[in-house]
């Protein structure tokens, strides 16, 4: 089966600009997650979707981050405006359901200058 697809792979923006990341999960996977991985740290959950509904967004900085999952398939994560501390790898993961192990994409590496 095809894996989790993410784009772009790399993005460099200036602070206060906006940026969007895209994720296409494994076909048939109902659960989709966005994680933030800062250099030298483990992934931190930003938001979890079950189909097209939000299950957990308690760690999403909602004043600048937003995410949506249209039609319960693809998802986009947006940051507006970006801050220097948002420099990280943004990982998308999917699971068959919330009880299944996560399958990760290769992430988008964001650098904010």
Partner 1 sequence: QKEVEQDPGPLSVPEGAIVSLNCTYSNSAFQYFMWYRQYSRKGPELLMYTYSSGNKEDGRFTAQVDKSSKYISLFIRDSQPSDSATYLCAMSAGTGGFKTIFGAGTRLFVKA
The single residue among 25, 67, 75, 107 that binds partner 1, judged by CB under 8 A, is: 107
Neighbours of 23 (CB within 10 A): 26
Min dist. Cβ of residue 99 to partner 1 (A): 4
User: In terms of residues, how long is the chain?
Assistant: 113
Triad 30, 35, 40: Cα angle to 5° = 150
Q: Which is nearer to partner 1, 80 or 106 (CB)?
A: 106
Which letter does DSSP use for residue 43 in this model? -
Among positions 8, 14, 15, 44, the unique one binding partner 1 when judged by CB under 8 A? 44
> Residue for token digits 């994560």?
77
DSSP summary character for residue 39: T
Task: For 88-110, give the DSSP string.
Answer: EEEEEEEESSTTSPPEE---EEE
12 counts as binding partner 1 under rule CB under 8 A:
no
Q: Which stretch binds partner 1 (CB under 8 A): 16-24, 40-48, 63-71, 73-81?
A: 40-48
Is residue 54 part of the contact set for partner 1 (CB under 8 A)?
no
Q: Does 25 bind partner 1 (CB under 8 A)?
A: no
Q: Which residues bind partner 1 (CB under 8 A)?
A: 4, 31, 33, 40-45, 48, 55-56, 91, 93, 95, 97-107, 109
């Amino acid at each position: 089966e095809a894996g989790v697809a993410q784009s772009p792979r790399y993005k460099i923006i200036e602070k206060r600009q906006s940026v969007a990341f895209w994720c296409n999960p494994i076909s048939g996977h109902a659960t989709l997650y966005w994680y933030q991985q800062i250099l030298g740290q483990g992934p931190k959950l930003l938001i979890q979707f079950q189909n097209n509904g939000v299950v957990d967004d308690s760690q999403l900085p909602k004043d600048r981050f937003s995410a949506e999952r249209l039609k319960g398939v693809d998802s986009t994560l947006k940051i507006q405006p970006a801050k220097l501390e948002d420099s990280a790898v943004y990982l998308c993961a999917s699971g068959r359901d919330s009880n299944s192990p996560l399958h990760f994409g290769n992430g988008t590496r964001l650098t904010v200058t």
